[in-house]
Amino acid sequence: MQKQEIYDQILRRNQAWVAQALSLDPAYFQKMGADQAPFILYFGCSDSRIPIHSLTGTAVGDIFIHRNVANQFRPDDPSAYATLEYALTVLKIRQVVVCGHESCGGIQGAIQDTTLPHVSRWIAPIVALRKENAGMLDALGSLSEKQTCLAKLNIHQQIDTIRKSDIYQSLSDAEKPQLHGWFFEITTGKLTVID
Ligand SMILES: [Zn+2]
């Protein structure tokens, strides 16, 4: 299929989706436009193979989402901070998830020292994390094992950064959200909770 054809098909599918939603509930979009009340803030990777609503059985409106390469919450990323601030102080979300995953290209780039300049700049903190944990990672045999290990270390790192953020620290104990780490196995579809 040619790229223009693929693009046109996506727009046709939107029309079909609207028609189907309205056939089930004529007020569906009016209700959706009224407000949002998500109960989970999700920081995940941009990877196309992680259908967050499907794999958690959640619906449109349930999850406030921020995605980037290798699911990072970097102190120098105003977009991530704005997302966290809005989610915690305006939407009053009390569950925050950082989800890493198997076969992450960003993690692989950090292990293999990617030569892509912008990716390299973005994943520099993960390269630093790799170097801090070189002993543990070098003991693992395959690239896949190293990727999984570094992805899990990276999840810990992001949760730690969220916990230390001025946004999180400024909240009372009652307002502070629970912070969770998830690892998604693409080859099984299963989520593992990271302590
Ligand atoms: Zn990824």
Q: What is the CATH number of the domain that holds 69?
A: 3.40.1050.10
Positions of E strands within 102-175 = none
> Is 58 found in the same domain as 99?
yes
Can you read off the two tokens belonging to residue 4?
A: 């223009």
Domain identity same for 26 and 52: no
Same domain, 100 and 23: no
Other CB atoms within a 10 A radius of the CB of residue 128 amount to 12
Tell me: do 22 and 115 sit in the same domain.
no
Distance 147 CA to ligand 1 centre (A): 10
Q: How far is the CA of 107 from the centre of ligand 1 (A)?
A: 7
**pLDDT at position 1:** 74
What is the CA(68)–ligand 1 centre distance, in A?
8
Domain count, the chain: 2
- Please give the distance, rounded to the nearest whole angstrom, from the Cα atom of residue 172 to the centre of ligand 1: 33
pTM: predicted TM-score of the whole model, two decimal places: 0.94
**What pLDDT, on the 0 to 100 scale, is given for residue 146?**
98
Residues 6 and 55 grouped into a single domain:
no
The pLDDT score that the predictor gives to residue 195 is 79
Q: Are 59 and 101 in the same domain?
A: yes
* Ligand 1 centroid from CA 184, angstroms: 10
pLDDT of the chain, 195 residues: tens digit per residue: 798 999 999 999 999 999 999 999 999 999 999 999 999 999 999 999 999 999 999 999 999 999 999 999 999 999 999 999 999 999 999 999 999 999 999 999 999 999 999 999 999 999 999 999 999 999 999 999 999 999 999 999 999 999 999 999 999 999 999 999 999 999 999 999 997
CA of 60 relative to ligand 1 center, distance in Å: 22
116 and 176 housed in the same domain? yes
Q: What is the pLDDT of residue 40?
A: 98
Whether 5 and 53 share a structural domain? no
In this structure, the answer to whether residues 150 and 160 fall within a common structural domain is yes
Residues 107 and 155 in one domain: yes
pLDDT for 178:
98
Residues with CB under 5 A from ligand 1 (ion): 45, 47, 104, 106
Domain that holds residue 8: 1-34
**59 and 18 both lie in a single domain:** no
User: Could you give the 3-state DSSP secondary structure of residue 9?
Assistant: helix
Residues 46 and 19 in one domain: no
Tell me, in angstroms, the distance from the centre of ligand 1 to residue 173's CA.
32
The Cα–Cα gap between 152 and 137 comes to 12
CA distances from 56 to 45, 62, 63, 95, 159 (A): 16, 10, 10, 14, 20
